[in-house]
Amino acid sequence: MNEAVNEAVPNQHTLTNSHSEFQKKELDPHFRTHLCLNMASTPSSVRPGYTKVTKEKMLLDVRTVMRTCLTNYDNPAEELPESYQNEFPVPTSPLQTYYQDLVQSKGRQFSSAMTLMTDPQSLAALSASFGTVWAIGTYEGLLVTRSTHRSILFATRYGLAQIIPSIIWMTKPADLIARRYGLDPSIVLRTFGNPTSLNASVQLRILKAQCVRSVIAGFLGIAQIFRLVQAFSDASNEYEDRVRLGKEPLFQGTPERIIRLAGTSSDVTDLSARRFDRHIVPIVEDPHLSQPMVEEHSDNFQRPVMWHIPDDTYGRPSSWGAGQTFGNPDNQDNSVNLDTADFQIGREWTLGCEGPDGQEQSRLIVVEADSSVGEQALALGVESANDMTVSEASLAFRFLDKLARTQGAIIETLGNGHQDRVVRVLLADSNSCQTTGGGHQYTLREHVMEQDSADVLIDAKLPLLKGKDVVWQSTIAL
């Protein structure tokens, strides 16, 4: 093993110079990485010979590079650089954030439950039931008044006052209702002394009316209570399902958010969600593959964490929750209303852009697209196929730009002569080959530069190749 190591490194004189360069640029991990690569590629004809202390120093530097490149995924905060921890604003009060999430979550569930309870069919049945109870109470009000002082107005008020008490088989006293409306009970209401055949018949009809309205109202009240409980249960279940499937609109109140087009799956997005939580807005194509991320960050499915866009539908308004209003006389061209789309981009999502004088010039919406192919990024060759194509990313960039401008997240022209904009970031294998219809091949980098498909292109293969070579180098050295 020592012979293999000796063949893989330069001689003592060369290593001494390299060691001094390590000391000069000890804070530059990329420099150490390239230096390790150069040392690994030294031919075996070079005369071996270096001290053990120098070898340990080299291994120490390699391990330092490894600790810098690799992050503990299970506990990212443990080795997370301080600059990452301060990347986004930190909430001043976690309790206030929790309260805001709770209010928005329960408010949406309550609104959904009220929608279920107030559908036309239910409202019609409810109105008919209460109308029946009111009519019976009005008939009862006519029976309890004297024939010489009968008043439809008093009878109607009497019947209205008996609706709620009827649910629990109660009756409000007629004399109290009469006094409530300024009437003298001794003049207006019947008095039943010794029962006679006439007043006994009236009393029986009054009791029958009370029984009928109490039965109807009682069953109606119990049914509505069960319906209310069932409506809230259904609303809660539907809300959780929408959170799982990525169809629940995101909460407001989080500043500086990054929109991440994650495609079918994205390891980078999973790690970003762990590091930055709600500041990352994943847009996924397959919500079932993102369930671990949802379970981890949704607070037991109470907070939406992602948005679902089916494959090849980034340009459809319906995918972003915007519907067409056909038949509206004010909308002759049947255009969509992006203002009320379910996917809302707030002004608070923007990031400030400072000028040379340090003053903020404009605001930016950052949209990132992950076009890498999972584990294929670890391969030495070119990726065979992209999870998200450049065409899909470009289409999503344009539609999100339209959404942001329509919803007021970015302003066309500012007073200082600058304008807000959407910054497009693409993570992909820049050397992957694209083929035209005529058979001409070109790289993804050339396509992005010619078509202006992105503002920033990050090569998904280069950093991984460096990290892999460092691992290989440390393995040989050991």
> What per-residue confidence (pLDDT) applies to 467?
44
What's the pLDDT at 60?
45
- pLDDT of residue 73 exceeding 70, the answer is no
The residue extents of the domains of the chain are 2-69, 114-243, 255-324+334-462
pLDDT above 60: residue 45: no
Give pLDDT tens digits for 85-125: 677 887 778 888 889 999 999 999 999 888 887 778 778 87
Task: Tell me the pLDDT tens digit for each residue of 198-207.
Answer: 778 888 888 8
Poorest-pLDDT segment among 71-80, 81-90, 435-444? 71-80
Q: Report the pLDDT averaged over residues 424-446.
A: 83
Is the model's pLDDT at 11 over the cut of 50?
Answer: no
pLDDT, one tens digit per residue, over 220-229 is 778 877 887 8
Three-state helix/strand/coil letters over the chain? CHHHHHHCCCCHHHHHHHHHHHHHCCCCHHHHHHHHHHHHCCCCCCCCCCCHHHHHHHHHHHHHHHHHHCCCCCCHHHHCCHHHHCCCCCCCCHHHHHHHHHHHHHHHHHHHHHHHHCCHHHHHHHHHHHHHHHHHHHHHHHHHECHHHCCHHHHHHHHHHCHHHHCCCCCCCHHHHHHHCCCCHHHHECCCCCCCHHHHHHHHHHHHHHHHHHHHHHHHHHHHHHHHHHHHHHHHHHHHHHHHHCCCCCCCCCCCCEEEEEECCCHHHHHHHHHHHHHEEEEECCHHHHHHHHHHHCCCCCCCCCEECCCCCCCCHHHHCCCECCCCCCCCCCCECHHHCCCCCCHHHCEEEECCCCCEEEEEEEEEEECCCHHHHHCCCCCCCCCCCHHHHHHHHHHHHHHHHHCCCCCCCCCCCCCCEEEEEEEECCCCEEECCCCCEEEHHHHHHHHCCCCEEEECCHHHHHHHHHHHHHHHHC
248-262 pLDDT per residue, tens: 999 998 999 999 999
Would the pLDDT of 186 be above 80?
yes
**Per-residue pLDDT for 455 more than 60?**
yes
Q: pLDDT per residue over 309-367, tens digit each?
A: 998 899 899 999 887 655 555 554 556 788 889 999 999 999 988 878 878 888 899 99
Per-residue pLDDT, 280: 93
- What is the reported pLDDT for 285? 92
Note the pLDDT of residue 83. 58
Of 163-172, 217-226, 289-298, 347-356, the range with the lowest mean pLDDT is 217-226
pLDDT given at position 465: 44
pLDDT in tens, 22-41: 333 333 333 333 323 333 33
For residue 416, what pLDDT band results from cuts at 50, 70 and 90? low
Res. 44: pLDDT tops 70:
no
State the chain's mean pLDDT as an integer.
75
Give the residue-averaged pLDDT of 163-186.
87
47-58 residue pLDDT tens: 333 333 344 444
Q: What is the pLDDT of residue 374?
A: 57
Q: Is the pLDDT of residue 20 over 90?
A: no
What confidence score (pLDDT) does residue 415 get?
Answer: 63
pLDDT the model gives residue 36: 33
Q: pLDDT tier at 368 (50, 70, 90 boundaries)?
A: very high
